[in-house]
Amino acid sequence: MGRSRLRFLGRRVRRGADVMTTAVGSFFMKHRRLLVIAVPMVWLLIFFLAPFLVVFKISFSEAAMARPPYLPLTSWEDGRLLITLNLGNYQFLLEDPLYLLSLISSVQIAAVSTIFALLIGYPMAWFIARSPSRRRNILLMLVILPFWTSFLLRVYAWIGILRSTGVINNTLLALGIIDEPLVMLQTNFAVYIGIVYTYLPFMILPLYANLSRLDPALLEAAADLGAKPATTFLTVILPMSLPGIIAGSMLVFIPAIGEFVIPALLGGPDTLMIGKILWTEFFNNRDWPVASAVAMVLLAIIVLPLVRFRRARG
Amino acid sequence: MNERQSPSDMPWRNGSEPFVRIVDVSRSYGPVVAVNNVSLDIYKGELFCLLGSSGCGKTTLLRMLAGLETVSSGRIEIDGQDMAGISPWDRPTNIMFQSYALFPHMNVERNIAYGLYRDGLPRSEVTDRVADMIKLVQLSGMERRKPDQLSGGQRQRVALARSLIKRPKLLLLDEPLAALDKKLREETQFELVNIQEKLGVTFVVVTHDQEEAMTLATRIGVMRNGVIEQIAEPREIYEYPLNRFVADFIGSVNMFEGVVSETDPDRTLIRCEDADMTINVSHGVSCSPNQRLWFALRPEKPEISRHRPENADNVVEGVVEEIAYRGNLSIFRVRLKTGKQIDLTRTNQERSAEEPITWDDPVFVSWDAASGVVLTS
């Protein structure tokens, strides 16, 4: 009894001294985590959640010739607050096959581009990860270097390369390999090239981060136990780099699915992508509610699998 | 190990055909020569230790046996087969890495089974052999655990099991016990020897720990700067080192530098200035007159006494400067008049001595003419 009381007293004295000398400091110490998180939280709240809610709200309103071009959800009538949720926008998306088709087409284009980015990016990431450390930084720099030029300029450069009087066609014509210029621009082919080219670094960087941490002794162990290089790849490298593959694929697939600029500049009239539809609804048709509904559906398509994936892993 | 077999059983003594032949093997990285013209024969069923400090080339030599490192020049033969151009996955060897290199995404069972599946063995046979192996290395109940859920000792066993499961002709172990704490290391040493005897596999162990090498090995190869300094059984390495490096590297030693003043077939006198004495040695030394050489004396060989011993071949006077009590033995450091120090050990057979020798006592250190080694290099 007496001992525990003494200890209790001692603790109280010490705590008292703490409070006296560092009252302000201890507040910061206690809430340090909160303070660190607060800044990005507020940022996300203002610039992500708020616009999201605005778009979410607009998707339930009715289009109108007004400014802004939609009717408010709430109205005041005879002392009653009326909330009108217009589900017609979503219904419209189901009725007009254009939206479903362009959604499917977007998923397909994004998926194919992701696969190609993976097939090209994986060997590059592997090569960089296995390079001597001096050369590694230079190679990584080269991967990131294109970001220092305007994205639009780089897409325009592809127009110069792909068009019928472009670099490729001129070269092939001059060499006599073809008689007529190949039609490459304004096709889905050009869109694939544009997306893979633009998003390749997003595939390489997480793969590199993953592969550079792979212990080379594991590869030697596999070889020593009788695995030929291909088997080592399938049984050790591939399963161990799965997190990198998934991260890289997400980073390519998600922005690619809603891509607007690349299909607009490189794609043709047949290129159906949901980003382009969204643009048209918003700026050409000035139908903000339908455009918002499209945006919401797109978001759901991207976020729901992500949530499910996270749950499956964790 | 070497004492359990009679001399004629030892294949390196009776002219047997060596199982592994390493002939004039070198490995260089640019200007750096990691392994320099090493020749070495290893016999079937041996537990051969390559001993040396870090960077001496022992691991490089081991990795060349496994095929993980290319041979710059020279030849390696295993069981009569030239290993040149044979990939690691086609070699009859398996290696246990110092880091263990367990596959982190596979559980214990799958780690051990990995090599068998690569050979295309049917599932039922793999399961049986893995179960047997898990029993042998005492990992029952751990089958489903991933490497990061195991202790250091358990991981070491998984690594050993994985490298043994394919029944390699030659098992290579790179510092197999380095990551274990002292107690566990000592236990595991004996287990390793037991397993090796049970399976009859030829082991080549790389280690920097001379005690480990002495305990495990049938023979030891001491390496320095890419060169093998001496290959011999543990006892021979300890009692008859070939040069000062080996004498100093294995155990501790008192080194006397001197000049031969007289030598005939069964007696040599060495004039030693730094101890101000003439050392009697009971055998002849083949050397030129007045050649500078060294006399190496292990600390457990000399006697220490308060009174001048009679009939001793070598006696020298000194003062006890330091005593280190180690429980089972005590180490005395005696300073001679010339300032030279001699270390010697006494086993503490009695729990309390009548009048123990203590600090600053004047003492006599004496030793038999046959108890030291004369080294010419």
Distances (CA, A) of B136 to A135, A256, B152, B164: 46, 54, 18, 11
Range with lowest mean pLDDT among A164-168, A184-188, A231-235, B349-353: B349-353
Give CATH 2.40.50.140 domain extents, chain B: 252-375
Which range has highest mean pLDDT (B13-22, B159-168, B257-266)? B159-168
Q: Is the pLDDT of residue A313 over 70?
A: no
Q: What is the mean pLDDT of residues A175-202?
A: 93
* Residue B157: partners with Cβ closer than 8 Å, 6 or more residues away: B137, B138, B139
Structure tokens at A139: 């190679």
Using the predicted structure, report yes or no on whether residue A274 has a pLDDT greater than 50.
Answer: yes
- CA–CA separation, A47 vs A30, rounded Å? 28
Please tell me which of the candidates A224, A227, A228 has its beta carbon nearest to residue B66.
A224
- Give which of A51, A32, A47 is closest to A295, Cα–Cα: A51
DSSP-derived letter for residue B282 is: S
pTM here? 0.81
State the pLDDT confidence band at B376, using cuts at 50, 70 and 90.
Answer: confident
Q: What is the pLDDT of residue A305?
A: 78
| Separation CA B207–CA B220 (nearest Å) | 10
Residues of chain B with CATH 3.40.50.300: 7-248
All domains in chain A, ordered by first residue: 2-83 (no CATH), 96-272 (1.10.3720.10)
Note the ipTM here: 0.85
CATH code: domain B252-375 is 2.40.50.140
For B170-219, what is each residue's pLDDT tens digit?
Answer: 999 999 988 888 888 888 888 888 888 888 899 999 999 998 899 899 99
pLDDT averaged over every residue in chain B:
90
Percentage of chain A lying above the pLDDT 90 cut: 61
Residue B295 — very low, low, confident or very high, per pLDDT cuts 50/70/90? very high
Task: Name chain B contacts of A236, Cβ cutoff 8 Å.
Answer: 103
| Mean pLDDT, rounded, for B41-60 | 93
Structure confidence at residue B65 as a pLDDT band (50, 70, 90): very high
Report residue A11's pLDDT band, with 50, 70 and 90 as the boundaries: very low
CB contact under 8 A, B95 and A224: yes
Residue B296, strand partner residues = B255, B373
Fold for B7-248, please state it. Rossmann fold (3.40.50)
pLDDT of residue B76: 96
B206: Cβ–Cβ under 8 A, 6 or more apart, which residues? B49, B50, B58, B59, B61, B62, B172, B173, B174, B175
CA of A230 to nearest chain B CA: how many angstroms apart? 12
Tell me how long chain B is.
377
A179 touches chain B (CB under 8 A): no
Q: Is the pLDDT of residue A171 over 80?
A: yes
Residue type, B362: P
Contact between A224 and B114 using a beta-carbon 8 Å cutoff: no
Residues of B in contact with A240 (CB under 8 A): 104-105
pLDDT bracket for residue B1 (50, 70, 90) = very low
CA distance, residue B233 to nearest chain A CA (Å): 29
Contacting residues of B for A235, CB less than 8 Å apart: 114
Q: Which of residues 109-168 of B touch A (CB under 8 A)?
A: 114-115, 118-119, 162-163, 166
Residue B133 has pLDDT above 60, yes or no: yes
Burial of A254 (0-12, 13-18, 19+ CB in 10 A): middle
Report the residue of A214, A224, A241 to disrupt the B interface, i.e. the one with the largest count of B CBs within 10 Å.
A224
State mean pLDDT over A222-230. Answer: 96
Q: Which two tokens stand for residue A181?
A: 């210029």
pLDDT at B275: 86
- Rg of chain A over CA atoms, in angstroms? 28
Instruction: Report residue A25's pLDDT band, with 50, 70 and 90 as the boundaries.
Output: low
Output the pLDDT for position A21: 52
Position A249 confidence tier, pLDDT thresholds 50, 70, 90: very high
Residue A12 has pLDDT above 50, yes or no: no
Q: Is residue A17 pLDDT above 70, yes or no? A: no
- Is B179 at the interface with chain A, CB within 8 A? no
